[in-house]
Structure 1
């Protein structure tokens, strides 16, 4: 099942630059693993923000939640999930 996921990150103002760098490095490693498993399919930055849109694949919403909540930055994300259904006019791969 495919999901379009909007993630907006808001780190605490008092978080040290060192801690932010550590979390970002951990996040990068973890998203690389999720991408290798095929869970994180694509990701796009929303210009001018700390937000992104991602195309995620998971067997169901529970599995998606497990993947998202495993992210090191999960506590600081505001996440909106949009389950996707096939459309007969989709020009993509069949």
Structure 2
């Protein structure tokens, strides 16, 4: 199943930025691992924001939830999920 996932990260004022930077570095490694595994197909940064739009290919919504909730920055994320299906005009 394909899902478009929009993630916006909201860091609270006064947060320990050293800890946040460490979580961000962990997040990058997790994202790379998921990409290599074929679960996180695409990731695009939204210009001017700490945000991205991604495409995930997972077995079901439970697997997607498990992946998203395991991300190091998850406690700071606002996430919007949209299920996708093939369009009849798609040539791929």
Q: Answer whether TM exceeds 0.5 for this pair.
A: yes
Please give the residue correspondences for 1:64-79 in structure 2 after superposition, counting only pairs within 5 Å: 64-79=64-79
Q: TM-score, normalised by structure 1?
A: 0.92
| Number of residues of Structure 1 aligned to a counterpart in Structure 2 | 92
CA deviations over 1:21-56 (Å, ceiling 9, x no partner): 101111011111111111111011111111110011
Q: What is residue 7 of structure 1 aligned with on the other side?
A: 7
The CA RMSD measured in Å over matched residues stands at 0.9
Q: What is residue 50 of structure 2 aligned with on the other side?
A: 50
Gaps of 5+ in 1: none
List, as ranges, runs of 4+ consecutive aligned residues in structure 1 with deviation greater than 3 Å: none
Distance in 2 between residues matched to 1:79 and 1:89, nearest whole Å = 29
Q: TM-score, normalised by structure 2?
A: 0.94
Distance in 1 between residues matched to 2:68 and 2:83, nearest whole Å = 14
Asked if 1:16 is matched to 2:16, the reply is: yes
